[in-house]
């Protein structure tokens, strides 16, 4: 079999290599020391391995077989610069190139959540993370979910500017100052910011009125990639703020970024992406393509609205278990043993739903079983959220349970709706990518047993962290990923659950505890 000469240029690096007749160009380049950005595993589904051949034609190198001598120019973005990795906040599932969205200096990747916000301070062009910061989204004081904030803007147009400032001045600026101080760097060094988040949060960050998304046909002002001057938000002149593209009014850039971060669209077998946040966004990659939906899960899993709900911090109960005996509840808390308890994390509430049902405390409808209560005197007391279980200084009330059941029913019914649309069963899914900070600490067995993830096996579930933030970080380092996110919007069928004839019945069914 004949060999052919391949003349390679990558930046200032020029080499000559050989390729076997009929060999894929991508394989020949990898063997020559130029591994490429093969996000789709060489299946021709992405543009990560594009090179220029013959002085002008851009081709996917994984599709091109070498049949003669040729010259190849490799753009920086097509070289494998960052393999899939586990970062403290998230897990990536794809490689990326080295083609930053903007020049050197410092970049800031941001996830704007409905309840919380998180950012990374990044050194460019290498992509090294210098520091990170997260905290409550100050917009929570003006409404705890997207619908209440949309309604506020509809009732009072001046609220758009107030919500915009609540993000930039009261949320972003303190987080950025904290990250800069930790890294010993200055604001003047920032060359660009990348924002990911749900569509409402991105509208408010841009100062756009979100009210058209509050009524049928739920029309956003924009979904495409948008760039704004940073000096509008107190950033240095010349700094660009890049808003990543979203999929629909209620399936936003956080899901597009997460799907790219995990390589959902490029997998061989069906994949399910579930972001258990305030909006409960779900994306299915199956035999019929990509379908997505959003459920009104509410902020219960993030602790808002619950008697003792709180984020993971010292003094928060992170694990709950039940046992036989007069002291039925055991727990683990964050911080030194014996320290004061201040609240309960979302993952511990899932433990509670599962364990309390198995122990006989919770009935199928989520009420406290009175025989169980009477058998454990001193462990229960009336409170503002109905009858409450006492765990040291914190409490779980029956009203808390009702809110948790509504949130878990919304997620479960949304998952079942997408699966039924494509004729799939939970067992058909290769991986359920559980996104969101709360998912990192979730006991998947308890999530299945309480009905949050119905019909799945714990071995299918992978907690992947804040992939919205991860997607923003990857897009900052590899500009071609923004185009991949734009392509997702064209290929994803986003459904409105309130128009699905079976969704309401599924939701009501999942209000019960298995």
What integer pLDDT is reported at residue 85 of this predicted model? 56
DSSP state of 143: -
Side by side, which strands form the sheet with 329-333? 329-333, 316-322, 343-344
Q: How far is CA 450 from CA 183, 344, 350, 358, in A?
A: 42, 17, 7, 9
Distance of alpha carbon 438 from alpha carbon 217, whole angstroms: 32
What integer pLDDT is reported at residue 215 of this predicted model? 85
Distance of alpha carbon 84 from alpha carbon 398, whole angstroms: 43
The residue among 191, 299, 205, 190 whose CA lies nearest residue 246 is 205
What integer pLDDT is reported at residue 208 of this predicted model? 94
Contact criterion met (CB below 8 Å) for 23 and 5: no
The residue among 292, 139, 167, 289 whose CA lies nearest residue 232 is 167
What integer pLDDT is reported at residue 412 of this predicted model? 95
Contact criterion met (CB below 8 Å) for 407 and 505: no
What's the distance, CA 495 to chain centroid?
19
Helix (H, G, I), strand (E, B) or coil at 139: helix
What integer pLDDT is reported at residue 214 of this predicted model? 86
Within 10 angstroms of residue 65's Cβ, the number of other Cβ atoms is 13
Contact criterion met (CB below 8 Å) for 35 and 80: yes
Distance of alpha carbon 445 from alpha carbon 280, whole angstroms: 20
Q: Which residues of the chain have pLDDT under 50?
A: none
Q: How far apart are the first and last CA of the chain?
A: 63
Contact criterion met (CB below 8 Å) for 164 and 114: no
277, two tokens: 């946040």
What integer pLDDT is reported at residue 410 of this predicted model? 92
* pTM, to two decimals: 0.85
The 3-class SS string of 229-298 reads EHHHHCCCCCCEEEECCCCCCCCCHHHHHHHHHHCHHHCCCCEEEEECCCCCEEEEEECCEEEEEECCCC
What integer pLDDT is reported at residue 341 of this predicted model? 84
The residue among 403, 416, 509, 487 whose CA lies nearest residue 455 is 416
State pLDDT tens for residues 60-80.
Answer: 888 889 888 888 888 877 787
What integer pLDDT is reported at residue 141 of this predicted model? 81
State pLDDT tens for residues 225-267.
Answer: 999 999 999 999 889 999 999 999 989 999 999 999 999 888 8
466, two tokens: 């804040």
What integer pLDDT is reported at residue 38 of this predicted model? 73
DSSP state of 122: E
The residue among 444, 222, 402 whose CA lies nearest residue 298 is 402
Q: Which domains does the chain have, with CATH numbers?
A: 3-78 (3.10.20.30), 86-257 (3.30.420.480)
Question: Cis bond leading into 138, ω under 30°?
Answer: no
Contact criterion met (CB below 8 Å) for 240 and 227: yes
Contact criterion met (CB below 8 Å) for 413 and 510: yes
């Amino acid at each position: 079999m004949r060999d052919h000469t391949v003349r390679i240029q990558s930046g200032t690096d020029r080499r000559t290599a050989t390729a076997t007749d009929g060999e894929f160009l991508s394989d020949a380049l990898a063997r020559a020391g130029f591994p490429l950005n093969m996000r789709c595993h060489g299946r021709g589904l992405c543009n990560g391995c594009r090179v220029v051949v013959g002085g002008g034609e851009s081709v996917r190198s994984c599709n091109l077989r070498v049949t003669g001598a040729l010259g190849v120019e490799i753009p920086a973005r097509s070289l494998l610069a960052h393999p899939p990795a586990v970062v403290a906040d998230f897990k990536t599932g794809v490689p990326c190139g080295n083609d930053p969205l903007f020049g050197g200096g410092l970049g800031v990747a941001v996830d704007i959540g409905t309840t919380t916000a998180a950012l990374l301070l990044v050194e460019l062009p290498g992509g090294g993370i210098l520091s990170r910061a997260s905290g409550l989204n100050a917009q929570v004081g003006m409404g705890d979910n997207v619908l209440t904030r949309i309604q506020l803007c509809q009732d009072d147009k001046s609220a758009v500017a107030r919500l915009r400032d609540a993000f930039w001045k009261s949320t972003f600026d303190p987080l950025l100052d904290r990250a800069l101080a930790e890294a010993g760097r200055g604001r003047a060094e920032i060359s660009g910011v990348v924002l990911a988040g749900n569509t409402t949060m991105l509208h408010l960050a841009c100062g756009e009125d979100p009210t058209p998304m509050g009524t049928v046909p739920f029309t956003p002002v924009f979904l495409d990639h948008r760039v704004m001057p940073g000096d509008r938000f107190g950033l240095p002149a010349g700094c660009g703020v890049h808003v990543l593209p979203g999929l629909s009014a209620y399936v936003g850039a956080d899901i597009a970024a997460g799907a790219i971060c995990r390589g959902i669209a490029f997998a061989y077998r069906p994949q399910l992406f579930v972001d258990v946040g305030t909006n409960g966004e779900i994306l299915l990659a199956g035999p019929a393509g990509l379908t997505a939906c959003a459920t009104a899960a509410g902020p219960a899993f993030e602790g808002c609205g619950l008697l003792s709900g709180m984020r993971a911090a010292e003094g928060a109960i992170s694990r709950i278990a039940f046992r036989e005996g007069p002291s039925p509840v055991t727990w683990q808390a964050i911080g030194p043993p014996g320290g004061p308890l201040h609240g309960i994390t979302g993952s511990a509430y899932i433990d509670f739903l599962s364990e309390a049902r198995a122990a006989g405390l919770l009935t199928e409808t989520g009420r406290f079983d009175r025989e169980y209560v009477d058998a454990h005197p001193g462990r229960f007391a009336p409170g503002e959220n109905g009858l409450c279980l006492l765990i040291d200084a914190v409490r779980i009330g029956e009203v808390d349970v009702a809110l948790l059941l509504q949130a878990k029913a919304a997620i479960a019914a949304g998952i079942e709706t997408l699966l039924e649309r494509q004729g799939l069963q939970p067992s058909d899914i290769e991986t359920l990518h559980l996104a969101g900070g709360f998912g990192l600490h979730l006991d998947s067995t308890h999530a299945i047993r309480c009905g949050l993830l119905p019909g799945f096996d714990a071995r299918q579930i992978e907690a992947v962290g804040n992939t919205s933030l991860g997607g923003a970080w990857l897009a900052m380092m590899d500009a071609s990923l923004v185009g991949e996110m734009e392509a997702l919007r064209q290929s994803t069928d986003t459904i409105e659950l309130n128009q699905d004839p079976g969704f309401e019945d599924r939701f009501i069914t999942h209000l019960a505890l298995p």
